[in-house]
Amino acid sequence: MTPKEVLKQARKDGRAIGSFNFSTAEVLRAIVEAGKKLESPLIVSTSEGEADFVGLAQAAALVDSWQGETGLPIILNLDHGQSLEKIKEAISAGYRAVHFDGSHFAYEENLQKTKEAVEYVKSLNEEIIVEGELGYLRGSSSLHEEELLEIEEKDLTDPSQAKEFVEKTGIDSLAMVIGNAHGVFVKSVEKLHLLRLEEIARAVGEETFLVLHGGSGIPADDVKKAIKAGIVKVNVNTEMRLAWRQGVEKSLTDDPKQAAPYKLLKTSFEEVKKVVEEKIKLFNGK
């Protein structure tokens, strides 16, 4: 199946595909094993920082290897690409989906830069998914223990602007802000503006894939409602990072003299896998 076919089938089935970030081989393996266990297609992603660590070509080679072994549809995605140069590098390395994040620019500049990214990618391969972003997504992919999450009205994606953005850029997927944020906020609860999501879905039409970033920390019931309202891709990173760290800390505490990486990383591997399994089940409506 092509990347677009994977997302179209998910939408037809009333579910979403999880986009799970990785920067090491064992985290990727944990994601893939979870997908294989649940017979689920996967989107695996690297941010620019994660890609710099693992290597763009190396990430692509690892994913190709796992796809060949499992037979699963596994889409390798560049998450939050900040420039056309990085988009070009990812496509050249073998990525099948790219997210150009121009949300930090003024609207007109975001539109123009996103359009340039789409035109470049589509000139090479129409089947590569290009995702754009509109709205201000607060936070970062980490644990926010003291900071309160305050979503302002001006942060939210405007439905009429979203319609124009999709039409003028030609993007396949739209990442939006509907009350979601990056990271996990201990003292706040992320609450999605589901009516705004429905308005955006009507404005952009059924051909546009709707994306929910900041999938960590959102109440499960809101996630289910968002998928029902049209979300077809949900990004998850922070919960996996926290599970990885807690697993490593437990291994070091339980066996402080251990130095073999494959032994120390066993617990973190299992913890990450557990998170991915739970998310896949949630995105499938279970």
By the 8 A CB rule, do 155 and 100 touch?
A: no
CA distance 143 to 183: 6
Angle at 157 between CA 151 and CA 242, to 5 degrees: 55
Q: Is 79 a catalytic residue?
A: yes
Beta bridge partners of 176: 134
- Distance between alpha carbon 177 and the CA centroid of its chain, in Å? 14
The closest alpha carbon to 59, from 95, 88, 86, 101, belongs to 95
Look at the block and give the residue holding tokens 């560049």.
Answer: 78
Choose the catalytic residue: 52, 64, 79, 158. 79
CA distance 118 to 140: 26
CA distance 279 to 34: 10
Give me the active site residues, please: 79
